[in-house]
Amino acid sequence: MAQLNIEPSDNIGIGLTYVRSFFPGDEVAVSGETGSELANEPFGEIATSADHFGIETSFRISPSVTISGWAGVTLAHAEDSGVGVNEGDDATILNWAVTFAFPDLGSEGSLGGIIVGQPPRVLDNDGGSEDGEAAWHIEAQYRYQLNDNIAINPGLLMILNPEHDDDNDTIFVGTIRTIFEF
């Protein structure tokens, strides 16, 4: 793994990331179990290597608004042959998100946040299927700082077209976290 972070000013940050990975045939998880099943196993249970490229950005518009985002491309490579897959087949996987943060929203130390993005999705695959209609990850959360050491963080997460399939029902997940910092 290699990562380069550049901060040309106090309000702007840019990061570039590269990761090289290898997964034996019985342990393939190219997207770290965060994307579709296909994005995790683009060639099924075939040994797979991958080159992951990412760019991350952050721009503080004002003390109360920050826009950030990231995009990642994974180039997966079949390292063996199997049913419908030839050694050397390639798959391209994309993920991205845009985030909006609102520091000190409502009270000092509190934080509002909105995330919109796409979980890892196979766009092109020499050795198999490609994901269909894009899934959308939409999330809103609010961390309320009770005191210097304790915060409560409720949130709502929505996934449209789970598994990049518009036949799947939308998933809603409510969360509530308590954060202790000592």
Specify whether the CB–CB gap between 44 and 82 falls below 8 A. yes
Specify whether the CB–CB gap between 168 and 136 falls below 8 A. no
- pLDDT at site 64: 95
What confidence tens digit (pLDDT) does each residue in 22-66 have? 999 889 999 999 889 999 999 999 999 999 999 999 999 999 999
Q: How many CA atoms lie within 13 Å of 138's alpha carbon, on the beta-carbon side?
A: 10
- pLDDT at site 83: 87
Domain boundaries, the chain: 2-180
Per cent of the chain over pLDDT 70 is: 100
- pLDDT at site 26: 87
Query: How far is it between the farthest Cα atoms of the chain?
Result: 58
What confidence tens digit (pLDDT) does each residue in 74-116 have? 999 999 998 889 999 999 999 999 999 999 999 999 999 999 9
- pLDDT at site 74: 98
Which H helix or E strand runs over 8? strand 2-9
The pTM for the full model equals: 0.90
| CA distance between the termini of the chain | 31
Average pLDDT score over residue span 117-127 = 95
